Amino acid sequence: MGNLVIIGPRSSGKTTYLCALAYWPQRQAALHHQSIFDVDPIGEDSENLQKQAKNVIMPQESLQGTKVLTFSEMAQYQFQIKVKKKFSNKTELINLVVRDSAGELFDNLASGNINPDHEEIYQDFLRKDVVGCLILLGDWQKEDDEDYSASIKNFLSFLDQYDRNHDLKIALAMSKCERGELWTGRIDPYLDIFGAHLSQTRLVLEKSNFNQKNLEFFAISTFGVLARNDPRPNRRDEPGKKGKWSVLREPQKWKPYNLIAPLYWLSTGKKLGANV
Amino acid sequence: MIELLNILYYYSKINCEEVITLGIIYIGDRATGKTSLALELTNPKYNYVRITNCQYQDLKDKLFRDGEIQPTAALNSLYENSLQVEVQLPAGAKNLSVNWVDTPGEVWRKSWRKDNPDNWQKLLNNIQESEGIILVLPPYREMPSLNSSVDSSLFPTKEQWCQRFQRWVNFFQFECPKAQQITICLNKADLFCNIEKEESELGYHPRHNRKGWFERHSYVKQRYFKVVQTQLDQISSATEGAPVRCFITTIHNRSLLELPWLYLASQL
Ligand SMILES: Nc1nc2c(ncn2[C@@H]2O[C@H](COP(=O)(O)OP(=O)(O)OP(=O)(O)O)[C@@H](O)[C@H]2O)c(=O)[nH]1
Ligand SMILES: Nc1nc2c(ncn2[C@@H]2O[C@H](COP(=O)(O)OP(=O)(O)O)[C@@H](O)[C@H]2O)c(=O)[nH]1
Ligand SMILES: [Mg+2]
């Protein structure tokens, strides 16, 4: 059973991402889409995610921000992912327990003035039975790069402190990549997203004593685009929310992009081809 | 309050009882229809929103005198009631225990605040702690389709209406920057639009792929809130929570009446 944690700034799409994962079976059925993956949400907490997908995301709304909770209060989202192997009848089973965190947790790291409650949560997040951390980022302006790199720098010092430099995996992912400026960068996010827009953030990770084998870069979009041959983003932006909030444009066409790749890599160390 | 909610939520999970406790407050000027809206919600003829602990008739007897709804008394300031609301959402029924607070329109007058600083503070705290705020607005005189049989002098002019709206914007911006959910109901829709037609545009049909919340809001905003579009965006950017959502409501159409509640229940 792999324990994973998700961190990242406010409104970067962490909870929406998990909802999409829990709702994957229904979307697959609705789109008559054959994929090498099956996702099985297990337990009440994961069912809650499914409900939110149905009640909130499908009817064109945004989820509420996640509140700061202690590790033991946090929901435990359990999933079983089945991967059908090409050219054989075998399926690979991946069992995950994922914990979602409030964006405040990541944002407050930047100041270096860390709230003791948050520190306790990070301590739990870095227990030895946690195998990986998904860092989901949402913006790419210069100021954002500065904030992100400051937060990650302090996160890395926690890794030092709890001796997780060598055995924790980090997937650094850019979310909401259906946005025009990012969509073409999705093929090579290391270069065309992180290199082009978040170079300071990338550098902080690369220049640290963190085991580089355990670091990987991803581009994902929970909302995706309208169709394979119609790359218009499946999203509508909320006026007044500075591009940070959006809702699905055509819920019936909802098909996330690259949702599972980071989780698959965090649990197996293997990368997947694009477009699954 | 949020901490408390989390604890409650946590316990409700342990007990496997899906009852969520929420505070929802109605605000708005005098005679915009706040009390009527809440009362009408308890009407046993419902579609997707049902009140399970209040009898329509009892409440009506309590609130009506001589066939007229009584203005909410200002001095005891807040009229609190606990409503058990059962809402039918796409993922099934959701039970909410709503602490419904009605406010008298009078409190929005400057003079009242000056004379009742303690009550004003109490009200303010109540608004700030509510998960959902429902602002009820009247129509304005110049609305193109205002029913000619109504005495339009009862309503503010467009200019007055816009000025008043700006004061609401300031109120949200400076007094409630942490508001999670603000919904605005332009009430008495029966007086300024064809409610059957709007019901068919906006109505809630969970089994059919009709408009989503964002599209409903855009439709209403485009048609009925055109004069304050930028102010609406201003509220959304000045508050922490979800973007503001606009509705048209009336006590004479159940579908339109239920919409804000369906919306709040799915969000909160
Ligand atoms: N354009 C676009 N918007 C998205 C995507 N995923 C999520 N969003 C929007 O981003 C906003 C924030 O999403 P959340 O999932 O609540 O973000 P979060 O990271 O959990 O935020 P906190 O809980 O506050 O830390 C919402 O308006 C979502 O609809 C995406 O793939 N593309
Ligand atoms: N035509 C019409 N009148 C309404 C509606 N809602 C309320 N009213 C009337 O507006 C007046 C003020 O209502 P009341 O609920 O006391 O307003 P409050 O002071 O905001 O609580 C009453 O005469 C109501 O009957 C509505 O949807 N349509
Ligand atoms: Mg969240």
- Least confident window among A119-123, B70-74, B197-201: B70-74
pLDDT at B11: 36
Q: Indicate the residue of B212, B214, B267 with minimum beta-carbon distance to A64.
A: B267
Assess whether pLDDT exceeds 60 at residue B17: no
Can you say whether the dihedral through the CA atoms of A26, A32, A33, A34 is positive or negative?
positive
Q: How confident is the model at residue B69 (pLDDT cuts 50, 70, 90)?
A: low
Region B24-36 average pLDDT:
86
Atom of ligand 1 nearest to the CA of A245: 27
Q: Indicate the residue of A55, A240, A242 with minimum beta-carbon distance to B266.
A: A55
Q: How confident is the model at residue A175 (pLDDT cuts 50, 70, 90)?
A: very high
- Least confident window among A147-156, A190-199, B39-48, B219-228: B39-48
Collect all residues of chain A within an 8 Å Cβ-Cβ radius of residue B90.
54-55, 58-59
Global pTM? 0.90
What letter does residue B161 receive in the DSSP assignment?
Answer: H
Residue A161, number of CB atoms within 10 A of its CB:
13
Instruction: Find the DSSP H helices in A97-141.
Output: 103-107, 116-125
- The residues, any chain, with a CB within 8 Å of residue B106's CB and separated by 6 or more, are B30, B71, B74, B112
Assess whether pLDDT exceeds 90 at residue A264: yes
∠ CA(B261), CA(B215), CA(B264), 5° rounding?
A: 15
- Least confident window among A173-177, B108-112, B210-214: B108-112
The CA distance from A237 to the nearest CA of chain B, in Å, is 10
- The residues, any chain, with a CB within 8 Å of residue B192's CB and separated by 6 or more, are B139, B143, B145, B146, B147
Q: How many Cα neighbours within 13 Å face the side chain of A225?
A: 16
Residue B174, number of CB atoms within 10 A of its CB:
9
Distances (CA, A) of B144 to B17, B152, B248: 49, 12, 15
pLDDT at A260: 94
Radius of gyration for the alpha carbons in chain A, expressed in angstroms and rounded: 18
The CA dihedral of A197, A198, A200, A201, to the nearest 10 degrees, is 180
Q: What is the pLDDT of residues A225-245, one digit of tens each?
A: 999 899 999 999 998 887 789
The CA distance from A70 to the nearest CA of chain B, in Å, is 11
Region A11-28 average pLDDT:
95
Atom of ligand 1 nearest to the CA of A102: 25
Assess whether pLDDT exceeds 70 at residue B12: no
Residue type for position A114: I
pLDDT at B73: 58
